[in-house]
Amino acid sequence: MHVRYSYLPQQFSQIDDLMAQLREFVVTGDFTLGKPLVEFERRFADLIGVRHAIGVGSGTDAIKLPLKALGVGHGDEVITAANTFIATVGAIAELGAVPVFVDCDDTFCMDVSQVEAKITPRTKAIVPVHFTGYMTQMEPLMEIAFRRGLPVVEDACQAILADIGGKRAGTWAEAGSFSLHPLKNLNVWGDGGVVTTNDDGMAARLRLLRNHGMRNRDEIEVLGYNSRLDALQAVVGNWLIGSTHQITDQRIENAEYFDRALGQIKQIRIPPRVSGMKKVYHIYIVFAEDRDGLYKHCQSRGIECKIHYPVPLYLQDGLKIYGHKAGDFPVTDRHTREIISFPCDQHLSRDEQDYVIATVAEYYG
């Protein structure tokens, strides 16, 4: 059996109605900040439960623009997670700011108890990353942020509809950042992102910043960026957004099925499934003994398993300027040796899941 990682061909196989909508849209010429975008932003805000959603060019920009709006700039420090995807760090670095890493724990999110020790007079913001669809412990983090007077931007790119005690990712802080990249749970046909906020002033600044800082066609209020979510992508987003709960629920059901079966295998350790937290399994990860052997075995049996990630960000060539060395973030390091990801998406079949489970069991004999 072949178990693919990417489900995009399946996801977009039946789209006659979407093609008809795109055809209708294209003849309006309403490409930039058009009506479908306005509709998508309203529906996204309603989905998350916030006052404002602002469509931007990518998930990276959905982190960068609120940081810019908060005044983060050259030489400032921004605290974030050591095990994140490069986009988080890229957004910080684009502003000339310096990422200050905090190690993660076995939920793949930053260990909040280590945050305060990283705060210096140059710290300007904190960007927790709700990595894999778990959430960072936001209650203690927001307490620290409030006490130290630091704004927070949640990197919720992997965590749409995740929550703690019913309070969703993207609603806890000054702003929340989402990605609509094809590989994300709610996706479009290219790059796109959304910033959520309950702050009217922040929303207004973001609307300026994403559109060259233009107050109107003749007046520039601030220096901004060209970072709008295309109205064309918003048509795709509007077609899909109604399915977000269904997509999420199916991923959770698949993850629970894997947990029950893989949890029976002695050499597999299921990460702590923190209660009171809704995890949305953008990535389904378990810890495995002899991970490299299991990885090779699964690949040889046609299963596209992955490692998120084999080389931690802080040791990558492109980040040498920050001067980190191996061992600086021991939990992140340990994860690079122990973690393995299996497909867990809404299009995965029970047969495919059973094949993955049987293949893992077969490896450990």
Ligand X SMILES: *Cc1c(COP(=O)(O)O)cnc(C)c1O
Q: Which residues bind ligand X (CB under 6 A)?
A: 58-60, 84-85, 87-88, 129, 131, 155, 157-158, 179, 181, 184, 191, 193
Please tell me whether the peptide bond between 309 and the residue prior to it is cis, using omega within 30 degrees of 0. Answer: yes
> In the bound complex, what is the minimum distance in angstroms from residue 282's beta carbon to ligand X?
7
Neighbours of 46 (CB within 10 A): 11
Cβ nearer to ligand X, comparing 30 with 94: 94
> In the bound complex, what is the minimum distance in angstroms from residue 345's beta carbon to ligand X?
15
Cβ nearer to ligand X, comparing 21 with 336: 336
What does the alpha-carbon distance between residue 183 and residue 16 come to, in Å, rounded to a whole number? 22
> In the bound complex, what is the minimum distance in angstroms from residue 229's beta carbon to ligand X?
11
Residues in the chain: 365
> In the bound complex, what is the minimum distance in angstroms from residue 349's beta carbon to ligand X?
25
3-state helix, strand, coil in the chain (%, to 5): 40, 20, 40
> In the bound complex, what is the minimum distance in angstroms from residue 32's beta carbon to ligand X?
20
Contact 81, 131 (CB under 8 A): yes
What does the alpha-carbon distance between residue 256 and residue 331 come to, in Å, rounded to a whole number? 25
Helix (H, G, I), strand (E, B) or coil at 98: strand
With CB atoms as reference, the residue minimizing the distance to ligand X is 59
Among left, alpha and beta (phi > 0; psi -120 to 50; other), residue 98 is beta
> In the bound complex, what is the minimum distance in angstroms from residue 17's beta carbon to ligand X?
26
> In the bound complex, what is the minimum distance in angstroms from residue 59's beta carbon to ligand X?
3
Which residue pairs, CB below 8 angstroms and at least 24 apart, start in 347-350?
A: 347/7, 347/10, 347/11, 348/3, 348/7, 348/254, 350/257
> In the bound complex, what is the minimum distance in angstroms from residue 250's beta carbon to ligand X?
20
> In the bound complex, what is the minimum distance in angstroms from residue 329's beta carbon to ligand X?
16
Cβ nearer to ligand X, comparing 132 with 198: 132
Cβ nearer to ligand X, comparing 59 with 176: 59
Cβ nearer to ligand X, comparing 214 with 277: 277
Contact 111, 334 (CB under 8 A): no
Q: End-to-end distance of the chain based on CA atoms, in angstroms?
A: 19
Cβ nearer to ligand X, comparing 181 with 207: 181
Cβ nearer to ligand X, comparing 268 with 280: 280
What does the alpha-carbon distance between residue 277 and residue 296 come to, in Å, rounded to a whole number? 33
DSSP 137-202: -HHHHHHHHHHHT--BEEE-TT-TT-EETTEETTSSSSEEEEE--TTSSS--SS--EEEEES-HHH
